Amino acid sequence: MKLCDLLTYKNVVIQAHDNPDADAIASGYALWLYFRLRGKKVRLIYGGSRPIQKSNLVHMVRKLQIPIEHAEALYQEPDLLLTVDCQYGERNVQKFSGKTVAVIDHHVAIPEKLPALAEVRSTYGACSTIVWDMLKEEGYDPAENEELATALYYGLFMDTGKLQEIHHPKDKDMRDELENRLNRAILTFLQNSNLSEEELKIAGKAMSDIDYHKSGHYALALAQRCDPNILGVISDALIEVEGVGTCIAYCVLDDGIKLSVRSCEKETRADELAAFVTAGMGSGGGHMRKSGGFIVKELLDKEYVRRYGNSCGNAWAEAAHAILNARLEEYFDDQDFFYAGTDDVPDLTREPVYEKQRLPQGYVKATDMYPVGTYVTVRMLEGDIPFVIKDDTYFIIGIEGEVYKNDEAYFLSHNDLVQERYQITGDYAPTVHLAVNAAEFGDEMGTRPKNLQDYAMTFIPKSSSRIHAKQLTKRTKVFVPWSDSYMLGKPGDFLAARKENPKDVYIIAKSIMEVSYQMI
């Protein structure tokens, strides 16, 4: 769905969920501006039993002059009722009628419950990012409006645990684009008006009653109903406790269970753990050390029935605790670790040999983008990866838009170059960002990220490129010397090593293996 698809409606009501948070308010405000600038009759409302009371949100609405209204009823049915940061018919969305209903949201959706007009991107950290991206597609730049830039940035800030739980590259793009265009004084004021005395007590109670598992070095903390941002306060404190390597703080909200995940162990990425514990029930992701997630109540109950044979009823906290505990036990009990280039890697030389297919892929000589010695970050769906550009660095773009690095000698000896531009496919076109202040390198380098698509040329692998590989039956982590993190393989993916270097093991995703390699 595009925003221009909604311009056929003259009378528009934008509805946030009851007791709206910063993300809902910011998203609704952006849409209100869009429709108003296009001459539509538009209102921004929310329902529920009481008006906004949380101090930071009261200040947000007042200082940014956001025209949001607390509505008990709609006395005229709008041509379009557009719910934002929520979905029509949910428990925390007062039911108003509209001739046509549309949805823009970042929470996991039950497809059959969505209206025909819907834009749901559950991998995004905030609805603010979705609306920002949709506005840019329409040629409207939110960064040009200081109040709007401040609102959208603050919406993302609050919904991602102070930006600590960002995982989608679009969230990072909006953060980077808006952080120098907003009203810093207002943002600072809002950031320091967030924690109430009541919420401080909620955090203290949750931390005083944790469920600690010594064998797995992890802890679970249930908080009373609270602003999701408070969960970050709780999990940040828990991870500093001696013996706690990973932790999850969670609370039950009207529409589901919100999680805040932390890890201080090299062997466990918080973003990966968040995705694992929410799989099939919601979504999760973020940074290596700080992440977050969300579980839909209906899907939690289905998982509870699958495991225990009966519905959890309305005992959501107890059900969430049981499922999270079970998944954490599975996570820590069923995984392998290997360190590439060492003697402890499995011997793959007796495994089948595969030959790389001659499929076109993309490459960029890094010095065509930046000088030698430049610290950069490559942003892609899989995350941000830092590199230092050397005179022989090549960025390789895989068939699913994934990016990795080769040195010149290896790259040229294993591939044939084609004098054609390469078209990157996938949901996100990878970009390269300066990892340090651009001023250190001179103004000619610029400060805006550079799109790999603008530089990508085509290569075709030589048919002589061969590997040994075996399919994985359990979750496997391969630590590689060129990264602080690990490559993650799931059951069905492949553990591989180049034929000429059996100790240099790595992971190939099943989807890539099926189209890129052929067993010989």
* CATH code at 3-191: 3.90.1640.10
CATH topology for 197-333 is Diaminopimelate Epimerase; Chain A, domain 1 (3.10.310)
Encoded amino acid at 380, one letter? M
Question: What's the pLDDT score for residue 447?
Answer: 61
Nearest Cα residue to 102 out of 5, 24, 35, 19: 5
Look at the block and give the residue holding tokens 């059996």. 502
Question: What's the pLDDT score for residue 441?
Answer: 45
Question: What's the pLDDT score for residue 439?
Answer: 41
- pLDDT tens for the chain, 520 residues long, are 999 999 999 999 999 999 899 999 999 999 999 999 999 999 999 998 889 988 899 999 999 999 999 998 998 999 999 999 999 988 889 999 999 999 999 987 778 889 999 999 988 999 999 999 999 999 999 999 999 999 999 999 998 888 887 879 999 999 999 999 999 999 999 988 777 788 888 998 998 889 999 888 999 999 998 877 788 889 999 999 999 999 999 999 887 999 999 999 989 999 899 999 999 999 888 778 888 889 999 999 999 999 999 999 999 999 999 999 999 999 998 899 999 989 889 999 999 999 988 889 999 999 999 999 999 989 988 778 888 899 999 999 988 888 888 899 989 998 999 999 999 987 888 999 887 544 444 444 446 789 999 999 999 988 777 899 999 999 999 998 767 678 899 999 999 998 888 998 999 999 989 988 999 8
> CA–CA separation, 115 vs 103, rounded Å?
7
Q: What is the DSSP letter of 125?
A: S
Contacts of 288 (CB under 8 A, 6+ apart): 263, 269, 270, 271, 484, 485
**CA distances (Å), origin 351, targets 490, 494, 496:** 18, 11, 9
Angle, to 10 degrees, between the axis of helix 146-159 and the axis of helix 22-37? 150
* Triad 488, 494, 497: Cα angle to 5°: 95
Backbone angles phi and psi of 292, in degrees to 5: -150, 175
Encoded amino acid at 244, one letter? V
- Length of the chain, in residues: 520
Burial class (CB in 10 A: 0-12, 13-18, 19+), 188: exposed
Predicted TM-score (pTM) of the model is: 0.76
Is residue 498 helix, strand or coil? strand
Nearest Cα residue to 227 out of 162, 132, 134: 162
Question: What's the pLDDT score for residue 321?
Answer: 96
| H or E element, residue 112 | none
> CA–CA separation, 82 vs 43, rounded Å?
10
Domain ranges (residues) in the chain: 3-191, 197-333, 335-352+465-520, 359-462
DSSP string covering 129-196, please? HHHHHHHHHTT--GGGSHHHHHHHHHHHHHHTTTTTT--SHHHHHHHHHHTTTS-HHHHHHHHTS---
Encoded amino acid at 49, one letter? S
Look at the block and give the residue holding tokens 């009481």. 50
